[in-house]
Amino acid sequence: TETQTFRIASIPADGVGAEVVAAGHSVLDALESASGGAYRFAWEEFPWGCGYYTKTGKMIADDGPEQLESFDAIYFGAVGWPTVPDHISLWGLRLRLCQGFDQWANVRPVNFLPGITSPLRKADSTDLDWVVVRENSEGEYAGFGGRNFAGRDGRGQIATQSAVFTEVGCDRIMRFAFELARTRAHKKVSSVTKSNAQQYGMVLWDEVFADVSRDYPDVETESVLVDAMSAKFVLRPEDLSVVVASNLNADILSDLGSALAGSLGLAASANLNPERRYPSMFEPVHGSAPDIAGQGICNPIGAIGSAALMLDHLGLHDEAKRVQRAIEATCAQGVLTRDVGGDASTETVTGAVIDNLAG
Ligand code: NAI
Ligand code: MG
């Protein structure tokens, strides 16, 4: 039989990005070796990020997106370093790729892993899990706005930052959330809104949610204000299954979710172009963590979990499950990095995940 080849572009970028991308890469290497030639991953690494910016004045090569376009997937670390303003590094690389490749759905599962203590006192059950579906192409991160009177003395400057909500954008992310809910045991979609205060964009969001929900009578729904939802994450997490939210709201809620699951270092994410016209991008939720970078102690689980989401996207569903089970086994064995109460290195945790792939 023929070997199936998947072309993967890796962009480690900055800080712990390089450490966690190396971890995920070695897990996929191990899978490949064990596959008996059924499939292989052809990797190409790209040097973009803040170091590249210092040398060239650019976060990514001018033809970077064209270079990436033919890949089956992009495996991303994290971007950002104190030497470059965060809005330049984030917009120049991550948001440029997400928007350029129309990766409009950002899927961020929140799982309670065995062996990890949640700061939630009541979260002792292993069956608490939900997925944040983040609108990833517009909303508060559409990049609409401007600044005026920058040269003025005193306090004369003006800045506007508008949120953009389109019917098409709301409709597609909500349908995506409902389809995902149908694949889960708990068939429910919670929409996160703020239509009491944001009377244009969020009211359109609510109306589209009501419309779309009529096409999914088998799926339970609720609409919750974002402030109330942040409380609900803490107080009634067992009530949640799929949570659909705008770009900013979901960004905040998914960090909260991963902290509740035990650490930001555990959380995985997929930036999907569901039509598959462009490559999708897989990355941990966390940033470049300059405070612990270069020490070999960062948690690789979020990045390895993101590699599992990438396997699913590539159609390697059994392999994705194997990686997820190996993550759970590793945590259950107590092989943990410092952020989740252990003292294992990034390399030790990665090695344990690889050993557990066989089990
Ligand atoms: P951060 O996620 O890098 O760090 C927040 C806290 O979580 C830190 O205490 C850090 O040590 C810890 N942490 C993060 N990842 C960890 C891991 N794998 N293992 C153990 N602990 C971990 O967020 P922060 O500090 O707000 O931002 C740092 C830089 O990262 C900034 O330049 C920011 O713009 C960028 N950033 C990039 C993102 C991306 O590329 N997708 C996402 C978030 C932030
Ligand atoms: Mg974030």
Evaluate if residue 124 carries a pLDDT over 90.
no
133, 176 in Cβ contact below 8 A? yes
Task: Indicate whether 150 belongs to any domain.
Answer: no
Q: Encode pLDDT of 97-115 as tens digits.
A: 999 999 999 999 988 888 8
Q: Are residues 165 and 283 in the same domain?
A: no
Q: Are residues 240 and 359 in the same domain?
A: no
Q: Are residues 246 and 282 in the same domain?
A: no
Q: Encode pLDDT of 222-233 as tens digits.
A: 999 999 999 999
255 CA to centre of own chain: 10
Task: Indicate whether 267 belongs to any domain.
Answer: no
Q: Which of 227, 260, 293 is the endpoint of a domain? A: 260
Task: Indicate whether 24 belongs to any domain.
Answer: yes
| Cβ 94 under 6 angstroms from ligand 1 | yes
Ligand located closest to 302 CA: 1
Task: Indicate whether 189 belongs to any domain.
Answer: yes
CA of 297 to the centre of ligand 1 (A): 14
Q: Are residues 170 and 238 in the same domain?
A: yes
Catalytic residue among 251, 278, 312, 339: 251
Q: Are residues 243 and 127 in the same domain?
A: yes
Q: Are residues 254 and 124 in the same domain?
A: yes
Evaluate if residue 129 carries a pLDDT over 60.
yes
Catalytic site includes residue 86? no
Q: Which of 202, 229, 260 is the endpoint of a domain? A: 260
pLDDT at 119: 83
pLDDT at 125: 55
pLDDT class of 120 with cuts at 50, 70, 90:
confident
Q: Are residues 285 and 247 in the same domain?
A: no
Task: Indicate whether 110 belongs to any domain.
Answer: no
For residues 282-301, give the mean pLDDT.
97
Task: Indicate whether 154 belongs to any domain.
Answer: no
Catalytic site includes residue 194? yes
With CA atoms as reference, report the closest residue to 50 among 75, 73, 10, 77.
77
- The CATH number given to whatever domain includes residue 250 is 3.40.718.10
pLDDT at 71: 98
Task: Indicate whether 268 belongs to any domain.
Answer: no
The count of structural domains within the chain is 2
Look up the pTM and report it.
Answer: 0.95
Q: Are residues 2 and 82 in the same domain?
A: yes
| Cβ 322 under 6 angstroms from ligand 1 | no
Q: Encode pLDDT of 154-200 as tens digits.
A: 778 899 999 999 999 999 999 999 999 999 999 999 999 999 999 99
Per-residue HEC secondary structure of the chain comes to CCCEEEEEEEEEECCHHHHHHHHHHHHHHHHHHHCCCCEEEEEEECCCCHHHHHHHCCCCCCCHHHHHCCCCEEEEEECCCCCCCHHHHHHHHHHHHHHHCCCCEEEEEEECCCCCCCCCCCCCCCCCEEEEEEECCCEEEEEEEEEECCCCCCCCCEEEEEEECCHHHHHHHHHHHHHHHHCCCCCEEEEEECCCCCCCHHHHHHHHHHHHHHCCCCCEEEEEEHHHHHHHHHHCHHHCCEEEECHHHHHHHHHHHHHHCCCHHHCEEEEECCCCCCCEEEEECCCCCCCCCCCCCCCCHHHHHHHHHHHHHCCCHHHHHHHHHHHHHHHHCCCCCHHHCCCCCHHHHHHHHHHHHCC
Q: Are residues 72 and 127 in the same domain?
A: no
Structure tokens at 10: 């890796």
CA of 286 to the centre of ligand 1 (A): 5
Tell me the angle at which helices 317-332 and 301-313 cross, rounded to the nearest 10 degrees. Answer: 160
Q: Are residues 240 and 353 in the same domain?
A: no
pLDDT at 33: 96
Residue 194 phi, psi (nearest 5): -150, 45
| Cβ 78 under 6 angstroms from ligand 1 | yes
Q: Are residues 11 and 87 in the same domain?
A: yes
Q: Residue 126's domain spans which residues?
A: 119-145+161-260
Task: Indicate whether 151 belongs to any domain.
Answer: no
Q: Are residues 126 and 186 in the same domain?
A: yes
Evaluate if residue 16 carries a pLDDT over 60.
yes
